[in-house]
Structure 1
């Protein structure tokens, strides 16, 4: 499977309160566009777009104690429109 991906990660510490850390990540993956140009390969490959986002926050209370929060979201879109081709995204990549 030929795919391209782009990831942006931002990790910051609070300016007013250095005991609060923020982590943000955005991940975009696209597969099948380049190989989909060749008509003979269209039935053999998955063509999809996947987007993921993550946010984490950590609050340090004492040197040995902290509280952490995490939120994640994601979505995928299969844009292979051939008849008989499965409309689900691949479970794993090889």
Structure 2
């Protein structure tokens, strides 16, 4: 099997962000509560910004503690992959170009 390496241009994940504890087993109740708290109007505005693959809402974990120990915190982004300008009331995670 051969794989083709594709370089991805810089993009952004735009949506909402929360600082949550790292949970190793089972669901993360802090993330679940955060996502439930995003209203349908806001979710619709976020989804409308999606202009790259993967299409639709993505969940991204960032800024994990190097120890990866249970209970340490991370940034959880609930948003879309886009090159569009982010509305002022949205959080942005810039992702540099790479493979």
**TM-score between the two structures when normalised by the length of structure 2:** 0.23
Larger helix proportion, structure 1 or 2? 2
TM-score by length of 1: 0.23
Higher strand share: 1
Higher relative contact order (CA closer than 8 Å, sequence separation 6+): 2
